Amino acid sequence: MGDGMCCSSTMRRLWVCVLLVSIACRLSLAQDVAGTPKEAELNDNITIFTRILDGLLDGYDNRLRPGLGEKVTEIKTNIFVTSFGPVSDTEMEYTIDVFFRQSWKDERLCFKGPMEMLPLNNLLASNIWTPDTFFLNGKKSIAHNMTTPNKLLRLKDDGTLLYTMRLTISAECPMQLEDFPMDAHACPLKFGSYAYPVSEVVYMWSGEQAKSVVVAEEGSRLNQYHLIRQTEGTEDIYTSRGQYTVMMAHFYLKRKIGYFVIQTYMPCFMTVILSQVSFWLNRESVPARTVFGVTTVLTMTTLSISARNSLPKVAYATAMDWFIAVCYAFVFSALIEFATVNYFTKRSWAWDGKKAMEAQQPKKKDHLALSKKPNNTCLSGVNYTTNLTKDASISTISNSTAVQLKPSEAKAPDPKKTYNSVSKIDKMSRIVFPVLFGTFNLVYWATYLNREPVIKGAV
């Protein structure tokens, strides 16, 4: 009996020790867990969201749009422009860098969890349905993939998705260049669904329409334009497959005229003034006036060709073309004016010289007749000596007559006096040409600077 009691008491002590050790271990573990509650909660959330996503994608068919056969899918969009430009006049296109945002609701992705919104990366986008948005007037679009695809996906607990991507788009910009370089343009950006008509998918601007397209304050990359404003709108287009909704954003541009004033207008203006300098040169300065005329004509030809290099080959005349054409006409008219003056100058010189020579010839004949008469009297004096005194007196008279004729010969009209006279045509041109050119400039600049430019495709 005594031995049995000892064994039982020993066993009890062992069980008590084991129980105490287990309780101590559990307390230590509880303290370790209590020391990192955030890590435990995070691990629990990751596990929960992993299970949520696995459950959402289980049986999900990304080939079918949300609400198929029940209702129309609404796609809400907005655009944030990070940089605008450059604009190519020759290609009639522009480049724009944007954050393109789309939002829609997919009830198949509703969930319940500790968070209202799940921040996800772009990998999930390939497993769910996304809109088939394309840009109607886009020539080239680039989705940025460095260092990873620049895409963002957010999922709310009610199934609303926010899908954002960074794009660089080269789009068409139809231009009307009649007022160039005082022109303005509205460059559109059009996008919509490629396959779904309005009976299945409808696009709309998110929030207030005036704030759906925003341009960064320092987002302009334009050297020749001012970005005045931007507008948003929608339009419906009809095709053989049905009616489609097209979203439109217009960017209004006003051209800066300073570059063209320096490169084209001022050289043309100075060339015309230089051509009119020839009116103040003597009309016998044929080489100088010819150089003025030919050089200015060639200069205007070069300026007209260089001005067209920065423009597309349009079939109509621009405002700059009209200015260059009128300047060319003034320069060419100055050359024609010199040709006219030179033509009449030659005829006047030949006629005046002929008249002067005819007026001088009779006096030369009289001088020769008088000079021959003394010689005859001298010859007669050899035969008749009684007349020597008379003949000597006649000879003296003839010599004095010859001396008196010399001043009359000096007073003969000099034909060169008409050669340096100023032409009446030059006198008129010195006044008419500057007045006409100044009037043209006043009318030209007052017309184009004060009128509203024609904007193609404006809304």
Let me know: does 335 contact 279? Beta carbons within 8 Å.
no
Tokens of 449: 């600077």
C-alpha to C-alpha distances, 327 to 296, 297, 342, nearest whole angstrom: 10, 10, 23
User: What is the torsional sign of CA 276, 281, 286, 291?
Assistant: negative
Over residues 70-116, the pLDDT tens digits come to 899 999 999 999 999 899 999 999 999 999 999 999 999 998 878 88
Q: d(Cα 449, Cα 440) in Å, to the nearest integer?
A: 14
Cβ-proximal residues to 165 (8 Å cutoff; 6+ apart), any chain: 99, 100, 143, 149, 150, 151, 152
DSSP string, 39-64: HHHHHHHHHHHHHHHHHHHTT--TTS
Query: Is 434 in a helix, a strand, or coil?
Result: helix
Task: Answer whether 203's CB lies under 8 Å from 77's CB.
Answer: yes
Task: Return the ∠ at Cα 66 (arms to 64 and 68), rounded to 5°.
Answer: 70
Q: How sure is the predictor about 418, in pLDDT bands with cuts at 50, 70 and 90?
A: very low
pLDDT of residue 128: 93
pLDDT in tens, 32-71: 444 455 555 556 667 877 888 888 888 899 999 999 988 9
The confidence score (pLDDT) of residue 346 equals 56
Tell me phi and psi for residue 93, to 5 degrees: -150, 165
Cβ atoms of 180 and 173 within 8 Å: the answer is: no
Q: Are 363 and 405 in contact (CB under 8 A)?
A: yes
User: Tokens 């008219």 identify what position?
Assistant: 333
237 pLDDT above the threshold of 90: yes
> Percentage of the chain surpassing pLDDT 70?
72
Which amino acid, one-letter code, is at 47? T
Q: What is the mean pLDDT of residues 313-342?
A: 93
Task: Name every residue whose Cβ is closer than 8 Å to that of residue 334 and which is 6 or more positions away in sequence.
Answer: 275, 276, 278, 279, 292, 293, 296, 429, 433
Mean pLDDT of the chain: 80
Q: What is the CA radius of gyration of the chain?
A: 51
Q: Whose structure tokens read 């040709």?
A: 339
* Tokens describing residue 94: 């522009």
Quote the pLDDT of residue 11.
66
Answer for the pair 56, 108: CB distance below 8 angstroms, yes or no.
yes
The residues, ordered by sequence, that sit 6+ positions from 170 with a Cβ below 8 Å of its Cβ are: 93, 94, 95, 138, 139, 140, 141
Q: Judge whether residue 169 has pLDDT over 50.
A: yes
What is the average pLDDT across 265-284?
92
Can you tell me the distance from the alpha carbon of 247 to that of 237, in angstroms, rounded to the nearest whole number? 11
Instruction: Average the pLDDT over each of 157-161, 170-174, 191-195, 347-351 and give the range with the smallest value.
Output: 347-351
Top-confidence residue, 377 or 330:
330
Q: How many residues does the chain have?
A: 459
Distance CA 211, CA 189 (A): 16
Collapsed DSSP state (helix, strand, coil) of residue 245: strand
pLDDT class of 23 with cuts at 50, 70, 90: low
Q: How confident is the model at residue 14 (pLDDT cuts 50, 70, 90)?
A: low
> Could you identify the residue written with the tokens 């100055």?
334
Strands 93-105 and 225-239, by their bridges, are: unpaired
Closest C-alpha to 96, from 19, 158, 172 = 172
What is the spatial distance between Cα 196 and Cα 186, in angstroms, rounded to a whole number?
Answer: 28
Residue-wise pLDDT for 118-138, tens only, equals: 888 888 888 999 999 999 999
